[in-house]
Amino acid sequence: MAVLIDPPSWPAHGTVFSHLVSTSSLDELHAFAEAAGIPRRAFDEDHYDVPARRHRDLVLRGAREVSGTELVRALIASGLRIPARQRAPRLRAALASRWESLLPAQPALGRELLDRWSEPHRKYHTPTHLIAVLEALDVLMEPADALLRRSVLLAAWFHDAVYEGSAGKDERASAHLAVERLREPLGTSAAQEVGRLVLVTVAHDPAPDDRSGQLLCDADLSVLASPPEAYARYTDAVRQEYAHIPDDAFTTGRRAVLLRLLALDPLYRTAAAQGHWAERAQRNLMQELESLV
């Protein structure tokens, strides 16, 4: 376990910056940064950007100085590194390409949705989550799902298009937006089906015969089966989205969410998701629940 820092060499805002990372956990990194007075806004997905004037002090506080190459290698080995394709510029391009394949005649709508997912107040419900859901659907969908494909993918794009941190209300607003934006290009019936699917994500409890809802909910919950460090990033991002909530109230609410998810039987409804993710998701949920004291 160690906190690493590389030499100041990254120019920005009239100075140069170092990267501060942990080789073990984001909790360790955040604790070190907080103790050193580094604001959370300096955190960039898997590292803190710190100005050159803080470099010596951070080394004296225990950060181990390594070269930039060593720092990157250690971050990759830790499992904490966010791949380049998931970072904002490349991620937006990847999502824009997916939208072009989905509704090529509606580029403005795609840009609007990407702008919504990129709103600065979001920490978990971001383009990273969106592409994770779309990639999970790549895994879950079978050739027999061809007729469902467009509506499920559109529902993924819209399912958190409105996000203000109000469970239920956000999904209803997102469903309304989907119907409003899609009625003209797709027709009322198709638009309403997308809106219906968005609403299914309120409880993540689709009907036994709702294959579309099952696909969307399983993809949305695929994050629960993340490897330990990725799961830690997920829970950290969720806490950041609710930073305005006091710790006691957040813990109470989070426990209720975890208990509701654990009560879903089964948690995943498609056979593919059950095979890929159920065991690890159950373990992650139980471990998080036990950690909330």
Contact (CB, 8 A) for 237 and 127: no
Is a pLDDT exceeding 70 seen at residue 85?
no
Is a pLDDT exceeding 90 seen at residue 230?
no
Is a pLDDT exceeding 70 seen at residue 86?
no
Is a pLDDT exceeding 70 seen at residue 5?
yes
The predicted-structure confidence for 240-285, as pLDDT tens digits, reads as follows 898 889 999 999 999 999 999 999 989 999 999 999 999 999 999 9
Is a pLDDT exceeding 70 seen at residue 26?
yes
- State pTM to two decimals: 0.74
Q: Which of 267, 235, 282, 237 is nearest to 254 (CA)?
A: 235
Contact (CB, 8 A) for 151 and 186: no
Q: Which of 24, 17, 23, 22 is nearest to 34 (CA)?
A: 22
Query: What are the sequence ranges of the domains in the chain?
Result: 3-81, 86-291
3-state secondary structure of 51: strand
Is a pLDDT exceeding 90 seen at residue 77?
no
The predicted-structure confidence for 103-129, as pLDDT tens digits, reads as follows 999 999 999 999 999 998 999 999 999
Is a pLDDT exceeding 70 seen at residue 88?
no
H or E segment to which residue 262 belongs:
helix 247-263
H or E segment to which residue 4 belongs:
strand 3-5
The CATH architecture of the domain made up of 86-291 is Orthogonal Bundle (1.10)
